[in-house]
């Protein structure tokens, strides 16, 4: 397997701050200009690429994923280009979106989501982690899909049923209902809810405990736990994205900004 080193990629990504300590714990903070992230193609490209770099670095022992500022991932940037989505455009989006999800699952060391606030956009990035710690003000939703006429085919239709059950997931994705931190804990989407200023420290506490295990144990355990999810996601995200693209092209859907939360 090709190997990467931290120095090769730690400063490579505009929207990701990467910090690794002496215990091999890698903190990945998603941001826009150092503050809370506004999701767009650049952020999408950064994340879909960094998972490959992280996965090929043998010195990573645990990965923590969090957001900058007050939110995890909660807003999207306006897209100025209103041209029609073509099959050629969607084919590239399809490839990038698959990497965003599947390369996340290819990382062989345990991953912890430190969900530091609302996560109404691409919440699958948190849910794909092995452990999820949420702040008390966390809110989950799926703003970019069904509620605006878009098929939730990028993995949301796979991961939400996996973590909260099929009936609850269908209800959430079809109605646009939002789930607060306590409901997410009750339904099994997160493992712990803590005060906002304790989200990352708690993630580090768990990461240090986990990182004490031998490398072989760390890597083979995550690989083993994800075997079935990877099978389902491989089929689901490829088929789902093609369905999403078919509907987008067929309906003439145009991407719009997800409005800021009140």
Which residues are known to be catalytic? 124
> Which residues, listed in sequence order, are joined to residue 18 by a DSSP beta bridge?
28
Beta partners for 222? none
Q: What is d(CA 68, CA 26) in angstroms, rounded to the nearest whole number?
A: 15
């Amino acid at each position: 397997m090709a190997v990467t080193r931290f120095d090769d990629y730690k400063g490579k990504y505009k929207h990701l701050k990467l910090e690794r300590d002496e215990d091999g714990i890698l903190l990945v903070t998603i941001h826009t200009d150092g503050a809370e992230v506004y999701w767009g193609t650049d952020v999408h490209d950064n994340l879909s690429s960094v998972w490959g770099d992280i996965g090929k670095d043998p010195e990573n022992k645990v990965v923590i994923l969090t957001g900058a500022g007050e939110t995890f991932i909660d807003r999207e940037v306006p897209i100025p280009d209103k041209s029609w989505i073509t099959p050629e455009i969607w084919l590239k989006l399809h490839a990038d979106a698959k990497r965003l999800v599947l390369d996340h699952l290819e990382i062989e060391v345990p991953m912890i989501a430190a969900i530091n606030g609302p996560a109404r956009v691409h919440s699958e990035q948190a849910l794909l982690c092995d452990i999820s710690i949420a702040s008390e003000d966390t809110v989950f939703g799926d703003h970019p899909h069904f509620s605006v006429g878009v098929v939730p085919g990028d993995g949301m239709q796979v991961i939400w049923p996996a973590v909260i059950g099929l009936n609850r997931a269908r209800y959430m994705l079809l109605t646009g209902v939002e789930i607060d931190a306590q409901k997410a804990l009750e339904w099994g989407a997160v493992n712990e809810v803590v005060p906002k200023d304790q989200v990352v420290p708690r993630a580090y506490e768990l990461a240090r405990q986990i990182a004490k295990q031998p490398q072989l144990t760390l890597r083979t355990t995550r690989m083993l736990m994800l075997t079935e999810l990877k099978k389902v996601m491989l089929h689901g995200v490829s088929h789902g994205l093609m369905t999403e693209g078919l509907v987008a092209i067929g309906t003439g859907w145009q991407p719009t900004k997800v409005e800021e939360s009140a």
